[in-house]
Amino acid sequence: MTATNTALFSAQPAVSATGTLTFTPAAGAMGAATVTVQLHDNGGVANGGVDTSAPQTFTITLTPTTIPSLTINDVSVVEGNNQCSPCTPMPFTISLSAASSQTVTVNYATLAGIATAGKDYISTSGTLTFAPGEVSKTIIVQVVGDTLKEPNETLVLRLTNPTNAIIARTEGIGAIIDDDSR
């Protein structure tokens, strides 16, 4: 087997004994390589004793792929007075810059800003999954309302450990707007 433009590959094209072609593109590689394959047998008498096949030539073309980026928005909600009967939802939108043909995942977790977990909001964490073609998902953080006069407070929703995407904006800020007069 021979290939032109070998710089395109970190593992050169190869054909296994079962006929499977494998190769690994070099990072950021783009372009074309011409590959020629010629098979040799063990010297038997099949096919009139011909030990070598005619050369077969094909082209491998590497085109750049765009990895989508993840962003998260900032959110403001009025606290409410409901002590989670029901809680006040704080919806964060996580968006992909472009639809992906692969499943995209990203971990998320709330972090305290000025707001206190358990008192002002309910902590949440997990893994968000985008099916191929999806570009937007929502994570709801539950805000615990009260009747105490206090300053506005903030919390953070942080994105980490993406697969099949990069994170363009790691944190969304959630502002809890106090609506109490006493």
DSSP code string of 125-148: EEEEEEPTT--EEEEEEEE---S-
What does the domain layout of the chain look like in residue ranges? 2-62, 69-177
Is residue 65 exposed (0-12), middle (13-18) or buried (19+ Cβ within 10 Å)? Answer: exposed
Q: Regarding the domain with residue range 69-177, which homologous superfamily does it belong to in the CATH classification?
A: CalX-beta domain (2.60.40.2030)
pLDDT at 46: 66
Compute the distance between CA of residue 57 and CA of residue 175 in angstroms, rounded to an integer: 62
Tally of residues, the chain: 182
Q: How far is CA 161 from CA 87, 107, 128, in A?
A: 29, 6, 11
Cβ–Cβ under 8 Å, residues 12 and 23: yes
3-state secondary structure of 71: strand
Q: Please state the pTM of the whole predicted model.
A: 0.67
Q: What's the average model confidence in pLDDT over 137-152?
A: 92
28-49: per-residue pLDDT in tens?
A: 777 888 888 887 777 666 666 6
Amino acid letter for position 72: I
